[in-house]
């Protein structure tokens, strides 16, 4: 079990500073930080430690320093719910090792806000990055950046270079002094469901032998082209949109090296009222491609059909009834609720119902404050940020669960949501998600809450066959080959474990796939010499057996 160290300058027995706690922290320790402002810089080397806020706003302010606020080499650094303010050096600098940042606000004045060099593994989710010359500089690493907003940088939103393999998913890059996304020197970005806007040069620039995959991404209001691929650059552009960009919007130095599918130039809404029909069909095809969920797919399609027919009636001068876009997604974990919510938001945007369709995922801690009145203010800020898109509240029942800490504050958040949903009923889609029984309790928490949602969509657990197919798709997507004899073992495994109360559906399928890869790695490491390509790709029956055991 990991050890927890408390930082609280005014509390007897606690550490007076973060740096003092880090010096004493053993590997894998958790440093829990009391609310407050901490004016310090912290160096870590070959350490594995988690820095997390202790139920309040924690600010590490080093705006007057000339060195990085947090600097680490090797080891593993986890940051949760922190605000980190840098001066003329990075807020976080990583040279090798691993970094995980969740729900953090990072800012700087000069240079990159986050700088990663050397072989490293990086995960950034639900963060905000602003200021500085560059938002994120990622080189010679593997990284996954999700649900993160980069804004107000003087040069590039994110730089991907020196062979870095980076996944950018559901991110927003706005108001960048140069490019939103810049890859060069063999950078390998995968850009999924992102939005790039307000750049003074190209929205996305792929240069110097880099390879990029772009899908379902919107680039708008850029002084340069939407997307540029330089010479010797390869990639794919699938179902992307751009509007109000320089021409040519898609600038390909060597078009034969880049595959382009269903990419469209969106005309301003003032000149056409027609939704991007090709984009709607592409998104519906993406929904249909998901494993299982037949009932869910039918419900979403019926909603889209009703929206489309209402638009046709409006153009014909016929009356159109009021239609709420707020939904309840009820079901267990790992059943696709978040993925379907993302697609639903993009569909509403493609149909012209919502102006942007961006996706904002929040939980109780993002809405609930520390004192009376703070919660309503915090909830309002989150809601305003989500206007024009989807506000997805995961485990929404935690706001109304009896006996929860600060439960009156949870009720305050619910009451604020009810008013905001009514005041801005046509400006956002609110989707609340969680277990079926608990979601009914949530809807009972306010007399007007249930009436704000037009429909409850039930997400059933996946069957063993469907979970086996999910694993097989994960295998193929990551360029592995699965031993054909593994399918019966997977089906038997899922038939047994799916009866558990805490079964995670697709999340458990992902964990099983990760265990199989780990078993393969251990097996290959015991071989004499470097394995061949076939060995590197193949997950043998023994690897799967080890994973299910």
pLDDT at 232: 94
Instruction: Out of 15-19, 59-63, 241-245, pick the least confident.
Output: 241-245
- For residues 461 and 508, give the distance between their C-alpha atoms in angstroms, rounded to a whole number: 12
- Res 103: pLDDT: 94
Inform me whether the pLDDT recorded for 372 exceeds 70.
Answer: no
pLDDT for residue 406 is more than 50 = no
> Nearest Cα to 431, choosing from 442, 447, 423?
442
- Mean pLDDT value of segment 48-60: 92
pLDDT > 60? residue 301: yes
Extended strands (E) in 54-200: 58-62, 70-73, 76-80, 82-86, 92-102, 105-108, 112-125, 128-131, 134-139, 141-146, 149-151, 158-161, 165-169, 172-174, 181-184, 188-192, 195-197
**Do 230 and 252 form a contact (C-beta atoms < 8 A)?**
no
pLDDT of 473-497, one tens digit each? 888 877 888 888 888 899 889 988 8
pLDDT-derived band of residue 269, with 50, 70 and 90 as boundaries? very low
Tell me, which fold does domain 1-150 have in CATH?
Pectate Lyase C-like (2.160.20)
For 103-118, the pLDDT digits (tens) are 999 999 888 999 999 8
| Residue 293 pLDDT greater than 70, yes or no | yes
Residue pair 547/512 in contact by the 8 Å Cβ criterion = yes
Q: Can you give the residue ranges of every domain in the chain?
A: 1-150, 155-266, 277-459, 464-548
Sign of CA dihedral 519, 521, 522, 524: positive
d(CA 172, CA 220): 11
pLDDT score recorded for residue 202: 95
The domain 464-548 having CATH identifier 1.10.8.60: the answer here is yes
List pLDDT tens digits, range 176-192. Answer: 999 999 999 999 999 99
Residue 267 clears pLDDT 60, i.e. is over it: no
CA distance 221 to 202: 10
Q: What is the mean pLDDT of residues 299-326?
A: 81
- Please enumerate in sequence order all residues whose Cβ is within 8 A of that of 395, keeping only pairs 6 or more positions apart, or say none: 363, 364, 433, 434
Comparing CA positions, the residue from 120, 113, 119 lying closest to residue 77 is 120
How confident is the model over 498-548, as pLDDT tens digits?
888 778 888 888 889 988 988 888 888 888 788 888 888 889 899 999 888
Over 90: is that where the pLDDT of 264 sits? no
The mean pLDDT value for 324-348 works out to 87
| Percent residues over pLDDT 70 in the chain | 95
Band (385; pLDDT cuts 50, 70, 90): confident
DSSP 266: P
Sequence-distant (≥ 6) Cβ neighbours of residue 259 within 8 angstroms? 235, 236, 237, 238
Cis amide leading into 315 (omega within 30): no
Q: What is the pTM of this model?
A: 0.58
Q: Average of pLDDT values for 210-227?
A: 94
Q: What share of the chain is helix, strand, coil (3-state, %, to 5)?
A: 30, 30, 40
Angle, CA 21 vertex, CA 17 and CA 23 arms, to 5°: 115
pLDDT of residue 376: 81
Categorize the per-residue pLDDT at 426 as very low, low, confident or very high, splitting at 50, 70 and 90: confident
Burial track 225-246 (b if 16+ CB lie within 10 A, e otherwise): bbbbbbeebbbbbbbbbbbbbe
Q: Return the pLDDT at 442.
A: 82
What is the pLDDT of the chain when averaged over all its residues? 87
Please report, rounded to a whole number, the percentage of residues in the chain having pLDDT higher than 90. 43
Level-2 CATH architecture, domain 277-459: 3-Layer(aba) Sandwich (3.40)
pLDDT of 271 over the 50 cut:
no
Is residue 82 very low, low, confident or very high in pLDDT (cuts 50, 70, 90)?
A: very high
At 158, is the pLDDT very low, low, confident or very high (cuts 50, 70, 90)? very high
């Amino acid at each position: 079990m990991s050890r927890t160290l408390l930082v609280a300058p005014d509390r007897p027995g606690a550490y007076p500073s973060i740096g003092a706690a880090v010096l004493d922290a053993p590997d894998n320790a958790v440093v829990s930080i009391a609310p407050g402002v901490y004016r310090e810089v912290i160096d870590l080397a070959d350490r594995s430690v988690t820095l997390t806020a202790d139920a309040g706003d924690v600010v590490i302010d080093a705006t007057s320093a000339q060195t990085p606020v947090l600097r680490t080499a090797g080891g593993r650094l986890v940051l949760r719910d922190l605000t980190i303010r840098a001066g003329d050096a990075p807020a976080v600098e990583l040279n090798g090792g691993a970094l995980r940042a969740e729900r953090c606000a990072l800012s700087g004045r000069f240079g990159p806000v986050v700088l990663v060099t050397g072989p490293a593994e990086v995960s950034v989710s639900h963060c905000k990055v602003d200021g500085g010359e560059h938002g994120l500089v990622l080189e010679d690493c593997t990284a996954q950046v999700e649900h993160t907003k980069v804004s107000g940088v003087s040069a590039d939103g994110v730089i991907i270079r020196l062979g870095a393999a980076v996944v950018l998913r559901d991110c927003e890059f706005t108001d960048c002094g140069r490019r939103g996304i810049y890859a060069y020197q063999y950078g390998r970005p995968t850009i999924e469901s992102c939005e790039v806007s307000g750049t003074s040069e190209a929205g996305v620039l792929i240069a110097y032998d880099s390879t990029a995959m772009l899908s379902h991404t919107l680039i708008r209001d850029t002084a340069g082209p939407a997307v540029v691929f330089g010479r010797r650059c390869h990639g794919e552009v699938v179902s992307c949109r751009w509007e109000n960009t320089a021409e040519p919007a898609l600038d390909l130095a060597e078009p034969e090296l880049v595959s382009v599918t269903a990419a469209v130039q969106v005309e301003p809404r003032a000149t056409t009222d027609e939704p991007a029909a090709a984009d709607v069909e592409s998104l519906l095809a993406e929904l249909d491609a998901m494993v299982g969920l037949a009932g869910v797919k039918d419900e979403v399609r019926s909603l889209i059909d009703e929206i489309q027919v209402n638009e046709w009636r409006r153009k014909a001068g016929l009356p159109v009834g009021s239609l709420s876009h707020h939904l309840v997604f009820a079901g267990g974990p790992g059943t696709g609720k978040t993925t379907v919510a993302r697609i639903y938001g993009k569909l509403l945007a493609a149909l012209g119902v919502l102006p942007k369709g961006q996706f904002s995922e929040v939980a109780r801690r993002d809405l609930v404050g520390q004192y009376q009145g703070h919660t309503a203010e915090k909830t309002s800020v989150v809601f305003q940020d989500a206007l024009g898109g989807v506000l997805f509240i995961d485990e929404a029942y935690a706001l109304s669960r009896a006996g929860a800490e600060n439960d009156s504050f949870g009720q305050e958040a619910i009451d604020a949501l009810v008013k905001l949903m009514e005041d801005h009923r046509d400006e956002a889609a609110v989707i609340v998600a969680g277990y079926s029984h608990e979601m009914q309790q949530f809807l009972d928490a306010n007399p007007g809450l249930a009436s704000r949602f037009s429909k409850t969509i039930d997400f059933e657990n996946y069957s063993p066959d469907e979970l086996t197919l999910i694993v097989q798709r994960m295998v193929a997507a990551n360029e592995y080959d699965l031993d054909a004899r593994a399918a019966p073992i997977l089906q038997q495994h899922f038939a047994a474990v799916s009866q558990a109360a805490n079964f995670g559906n697709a999340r458990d399928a992902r964990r099983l796939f990760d265990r199989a890869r780990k078993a393969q790695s251990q097996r290959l490491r015991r071989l004499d010499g470097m394995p061949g390509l076939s060995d590197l790709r193949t997950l043998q029956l023994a690897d799967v057996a080890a994973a299910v055991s």
